[in-house]
Amino acid sequence: MTDVSFAALGLSEPLLRALRAANYNQPTPIQARTIPALLEGRDVLGIAQTGTGKTAAFALPVLQQLVQQGGRAQPKSPRALVLAPTRELAVQIARSFDTYGKGLGLRLGMVIGGLGFGRQIDTLNRGVDLLVATPGRLLDLVERGNVRLGQVTFLVLDEADRMFDMGFIRDVRRIVAAVAKQRQTLLFSATMPADVATLAHEILRDPVRVEITPQGRTVDRVDQGVYFVNAASKRALLSHLLADNDLERVIVFTRTKRGANRVAEALDRGGVPSEAIHGNKSQNARQRALDSFSRGRARVLVATDLAARGIDVQGVTHVINYELPADAESYVHRIGRTARAGASGIAISFCDSSERGQLKSIERLTNQRITVLVTPANEDLPQPQAPAPQRRDERAEDRSGERHGFRHPHRSRGPRHENRGREQQGRRWHDDRPNSLERGGHDFGDYRDRPPEQRSHERPQGQERRPHWKRRRRRAA
């Protein structure tokens, strides 16, 4: 934190009120340096990781300037655009705008992949001042003529290095080419490899450079320990550890999606409320799991590496690596979930005999020896309970994702229809959505949405549904 106040940075009274309501007493260093520069109309190159308060650093001045510009939101023509590499990050950014922008009379929209187009298009048609988007979906909507970017005079690229990592950079360049030439541009990145520096040079005009060096490496702020344990005893060891209430808010990492489901189910059965989050779940289901965890309804979130990208939940007390990741960098990323915003945390790894090599490469990368913890004797561990019969939707998920990567054509009817019913009957995800600014138009899609790989009509090439005449012939035979 810094000595200056938010008021001294030049923020208007409604924003100061929203900050007080959010319990933000003082600006973080990146906010103290970025907000005045942006309010002066300068471009900014921010080198900062999540957890430094970078979202508010760009959101507050953008909101203030949109209000100062005045005017009503025009259909299909946002004035500010924030690009994020992942859906989860986009949702978080939209939430931040919601928090800070209450009562400003602005309209916020969000377009992200994995959800239906219908609501997103409606939202754009009604008009939004500010749009938070992932690049692929935004370009789809641009190509369909549902959104025009020519009026975008504030452009924010968040986590630019991850845009490169995830292969989005061509999409990003196309988007940048479509926004107004006269604009204010902000580029944030946790790291500054050469390709990000080149992009920054291309799209920023005489930027103010703000670099926030993290307070020590994440790996130095996390207490790390490892249990050497048989693969078969991992579940019992996990239950044993969770008997300790100090493990208040825990993320457990597994290597596979199915593993994540199984561990979450076993914990649930043992009375530990848990949620699983992985790439086979629909965007809505992922967000619901994340919400349940961040609101404390679930004590444990079981996640795969990919799904964990962009998870920013405050107060994660422990990260448990139920299985070690294949690459050492993912380990650093995983344990970073427990040391947000400069806090410290605890990371515990389970290492079976097949994972010794992975442990070695982690120690090599972090240049640290991980403390070996004493594994309790088998008889001291809780006895595993018989698994409950798999839920039908879980069976469907296993069938649809893990082995085939798509839903089996002959089995698709039952689970798909059942899922649809469950979503329709249950509490709809929209109810949990952040209130949009002035109820303008968030778009988080609807219950029909499925990631493409789970939609039976979008099969991988060469795996098309059997033509109906073939099916008829089979039945006749």
* Site residues for ligand AMP per CB under 6 A: 24, 27-28, 31, 50-56, 312, 314, 341
β-bridge mates for residue 208, sequence order: 44
Smallest gap from residue 133 Cβ to ligand AMP (A): 18
Of the CA atoms within 13 Å of residue 20, those in its CB half-sphere come to 9
Task: Report d(CA 140, CA 96) in Å as an integer.
Answer: 25
Nearer to ligand AMP, 288 or 340 (CB): 340
To the nearest whole angstrom, how small is the minimum distance from the Cβ of residue 97 to ligand AMP?
A: 11
CB of 25 to ligand AMP, least distance (A): 6
SS3 (DSSP) at 455? coil
Please say which residue, 62 or 241, places its beta carbon nearer to ligand AMP: 62
Nearer to ligand AMP, 264 or 332 (CB): 332
Shortest Cβ distance from residue 23 to ligand AMP (Å)?
Answer: 7
CB contact set of 226 (below 8 Å; sequence gap of 6+): 348, 349, 350, 351, 359, 370, 371, 372, 373
Q: How far is the CB of 58 from ligand AMP (least distance, A)?
A: 9
Nearer to ligand AMP, 33 or 416 (CB): 33
CA distance 228 to 22: 43
Query: β-strands 222-228, 300-303: how paired?
Result: unpaired
Query: What end-to-end distance do the CA atoms of the chain give, in Å?
Result: 74
Kindly tell me which of 5 and 77 has the beta carbon lying closer to ligand AMP: 5
Select 48 or 226, whichever has its Cβ closest to ligand AMP: 48
* Smallest gap from residue 249 Cβ to ligand AMP (A): 14
Report the nearest approach of ligand AMP to the CB of residue 321 (Å): 23
State which residue, 55 or 330, has the beta carbon closest to ligand AMP. 55
By C-alpha distance, which of 343, 337, 330, 319 is closest to 250?
319
* Three-point CA angle 280, 289, 255, nearest 5°: 45
Looking at beta carbons only, is 49 or 358 nearer to ligand AMP? 49
Task: Sort 136 into a burial class: Cβ within 10 Å, 0-12 / 13-18 / 19+.
Answer: middle
| Shortest distance in whole angstroms from residue 51 CB to ligand AMP | 5
Long-range CB pairs of 170-177, under 8 A, 24+ apart, other chains included: 171/135, 171/136, 171/138, 171/139, 172/83, 172/135, 172/199, 173/199, 174/139, 175/81, 175/83, 175/135, 175/138, 175/139, 175/142, 175/149, 176/203
16: Cβ–Cβ under 8 A, 6 or more apart, which residues?
6, 7
